[in-house]
Chain A
Amino acid sequence: MTVGSTRIRIQWMALAIVVASLQPAFGIPAFARKYGLPCSACHEAWPMLNNFGQTFKDNGYQLGNERDAPIYQEPSYWPIMFRTTPTWHRENNNRQAVDAIPGNPTSGLVEQSVTTSGFDLNGLNVITAGTLYKNISFFVQPFIGSSSINIAQAWTRLDNLAGTHWLNLKMGKFEMDLPISQERALTLSNSGQEYYTYFFTPPGDRNPFVGLGLPQLGVELSGHNDTTRYSVAVVTDSSGGTGLPVNQAADVYANFNQSFEVPHLGRQQLGLYGFFGESPTYFQTAGGQPIAGTGQGNKSFYRVGAYGHWYIQQFDFFTFYIHGMDNVFLGNSVPSNQPQLLPIGSVGPTWNGGMFEVHYNPNPRLIFLGRYEMDRMSRQANPSIPSTLGNIDAWTLGYRWYPIMSPRAGLAWVQEYSRLTNAGQAPISGRDDVHNSYLMGFDFDF
Chain B
Amino acid sequence: MRSLFCLTIAAVLGVSLLGAHASAQETHVGKLTGNAKRGKALYTRYCIFCHGPFGDGRGESAPYLDPKPRDFTKAVFKCRSTPSGSLPIDTDLYDTISRGIHASGMPSWKPLLRQERVDLVAYIKTFSSAFQEEKPGTPVEIPQEPPSSAESIQRGAELFQTMNCWSCHGKDGRGYGPSAATLTDSKGYPITPFDFTSGSRFKCGETDRDMFRDLVTGLDGTPMPSFGSAMTADQRWDVVHYIRSLSNHKEHAKPQIQQAGQ
Q: Residues of A with Cβ closer than 8 Å to B?
A: 35-38, 40-41, 50-52, 54-55, 63-67, 163, 226, 261, 263-264, 266-267, 363-364, 406-407
Q: Within 8 Å of chain A (Cβ to Cβ): is B58?
A: no
Q: Within 8 Å of chain A (Cβ to Cβ): is B113?
A: yes
Are A261 and B44 touching (Cβ within 8 A)?
no
Interface hits, B98-115 → A, CB 8 Å: 100-115
Are B44 and A266 touching (Cβ within 8 A)?
no
> Given the complex, which residues of A lie within 8 Å of B61, measured CB to CB?
36-37, 407
Give the contacting residue for A66; candidates B62, B64, B103, B111; CB below 8 A.
B103
| A163 CA / B64 CA spacing, docked (Å) | 31
User: A66 with B105: in contact, given A36-B61, A52-B112, A407-B60 (CB under 8 Å)?
Assistant: no
> Given the complex, which residues of A lie within 8 Å of B112, measured CB to CB?
51-52
| A38 CA / B45 CA spacing, docked (Å) | 8
> Given the complex, which residues of B lie within 8 Å of A37, measured CB to CB?
46, 49-50, 61, 107
Q: Which residue of A lies closest to B103 (CB)?
A: A66
Q: Which residue of B lies closest to A261 (CB)?
A: B113
Are B113 and A41 touching (Cβ within 8 A)?
no
Are B114 and A261 touching (Cβ within 8 A)?
yes
Are A66 and B109 touching (Cβ within 8 A)?
no
Q: Within 8 Å of chain A (Cβ to Cβ): is B134?
A: no
Cβ contacts B100-136/A at 8 Å (1 or 0 each): 1111111111111111000000000000000000000
Q: Which residue of B lies closest to A40 (CB)?
A: B45
Q: Within 8 Å of chain A (Cβ to Cβ): is B198?
A: yes
Are A52 and B49 touching (Cβ within 8 A)?
no
Are B49 and A66 touching (Cβ within 8 A)?
no
| A65 CA / B98 CA spacing, docked (Å) | 12
Interface hub of B106, B112, B113 (most chain A Cβ within 10 A): B113
Are B50 and A64 touching (Cβ within 8 A)?
no
| A35 CA / B100 CA spacing, docked (Å) | 13
Are B103 and A52 touching (Cβ within 8 A)?
no
Interface hits, B178-201 → A, CB 8 Å: 198-199, 201
Are A63 and B50 touching (Cβ within 8 A)?
no
Are A364 and B45 touching (Cβ within 8 A)?
yes
Give the contacting residue for B107; candidates A40, A65, A266, A363; CB below 8 A.
A65
Cβ contacts A to B, 18 pairs, < 8 Å? A36-B62, A36-B65, A37-B107, A38-B45, A41-B46, A50-B111, A51-B111, A52-B109, A54-B111, A55-B110, A64-B108, A65-B103, A65-B104, A65-B105, A66-B198, A66-B199, A261-B113, A363-B45
Q: Within 8 Å of chain A (Cβ to Cβ): is B41?
A: yes
| A263 CA / B109 CA spacing, docked (Å) | 18
| A264 CA / B33 CA spacing, docked (Å) | 11
CB distance from B253 to the nearest CB of A (A): 11
| A66 CA / B44 CA spacing, docked (Å) | 25
B: contact size bracket = 20 to 34
Are B108 and A65 touching (Cβ within 8 A)?
yes
User: A35 with B113: in contact, given A66-B102, A407-B60 (CB under 8 Å)?
Assistant: no
> Beyond A41-B46, A63-B107, A263-B115: 18 further Cβ-contacts under 8 Å?
A35-B107, A36-B64, A37-B49, A37-B61, A41-B45, A50-B111, A55-B110, A63-B100, A64-B108, A65-B101, A65-B106, A66-B201, A67-B103, A67-B104, A226-B111, A261-B113, A363-B41, A407-B49
CB distance from B214 to the nearest CB of A (A): 17
CB distance from B50 to the nearest CB of A (A): 6
Interface hits, B37-79 → A, CB 8 Å: 41, 44-46, 48-50, 60-62, 64-65
| A40 CA / B108 CA spacing, docked (Å) | 16
Q: Within 8 Å of chain A (Cβ to Cβ): is B141?
A: no
> Given the complex, which residues of B lie within 8 Å of A267, measured CB to CB?
113
Are A36 and B105 touching (Cβ within 8 A)?
yes
Q: Which residue of B lies closest to A55 (CB)?
A: B111
Are A65 and B45 touching (Cβ within 8 A)?
no
> Given the complex, which residues of A lie within 8 Å of B110, measured CB to CB?
55, 226
CB distance from A263 to the nearest CB of B (A): 7
Instruction: Please count the residue pairs between chain A and chain B whose beta carbons lie under 8 angstroms apart in the complex.
Output: 76
CB distance from A130 to the nearest CB of B (A): 15
Q: Which residue of B lies closest to A38 (CB)?
A: B49
CB distance from A257 to the nearest CB of B (A): 14
Nearest 4 pairs between A and B by C-beta?
A36-B61, A63-B107, A55-B111, A52-B111
CB distance from A404 to the nearest CB of B (A): 12
| A66 CA / B102 CA spacing, docked (Å) | 7
| A23 CA / B184 CA spacing, docked (Å) | 49
CB distance from A29 to the nearest CB of B (A): 12
| A264 CA / B60 CA spacing, docked (Å) | 32
Interface hits, B13-57 → A, CB 8 Å: 41, 44-46, 48-50
CB distance from B203 to the nearest CB of A (A): 11
> Given the complex, which residues of B lie within 8 Å of A261, measured CB to CB?
113-115
CB distance from B8 to the nearest CB of A (A): 39
> Given the complex, which residues of B lie within 8 Å of A50, measured CB to CB?
111
Are A363 and B113 touching (Cβ within 8 A)?
no
User: A64 with B65: in contact, given A38-B49, A40-B45, A41-B46 (CB under 8 Å)?
Assistant: no
| A364 CA / B44 CA spacing, docked (Å) | 8
CB distance from A261 to the nearest CB of B (A): 5
Q: Which residue of A lies closest to B31 (CB)?
A: A263
CB distance from B37 to the nearest CB of A (A): 12
CB distance from B109 to the nearest CB of A (A): 7
> Given the complex, which residues of A lie within 8 Å of B41, measured CB to CB?
363
Q: Which residue of A lies closest to B63 (CB)?
A: A36
> Given the complex, which residues of A lie within 8 Å of B199, measured CB to CB?
66
CB distance from A160 to the nearest CB of B (A): 11
Interface hub of B44, B61, B64, B100 (most chain A Cβ within 10 A): B61
| A51 CA / B109 CA spacing, docked (Å) | 10
Q: Which residue of B lies closest to A314 (CB)?
A: B41
> Given the complex, which residues of B lie within 8 Å of A163, measured CB to CB?
251
CB distance from A172 to the nearest CB of B (A): 26
CB distance from A167 to the nearest CB of B (A): 15
| A364 CA / B112 CA spacing, docked (Å) | 15
| A64 CA / B105 CA spacing, docked (Å) | 10
Give the contacting residue for B102; candidates A65, A264, A407; CB below 8 A.
A65
Cβ contacts B218-254/A at 8 Å (1 or 0 each): 0000000000000000000000000000000001000
Are B46 and A266 touching (Cβ within 8 A)?
no
> Given the complex, which residues of A lie within 8 Å of B62, measured CB to CB?
36
| A226 CA / B103 CA spacing, docked (Å) | 22
CB distance from A35 to the nearest CB of B (A): 7
Give the contacting residue for A35; candidates B101, B102, B105, B108; CB below 8 A.
B105
| A266 CA / B116 CA spacing, docked (Å) | 9
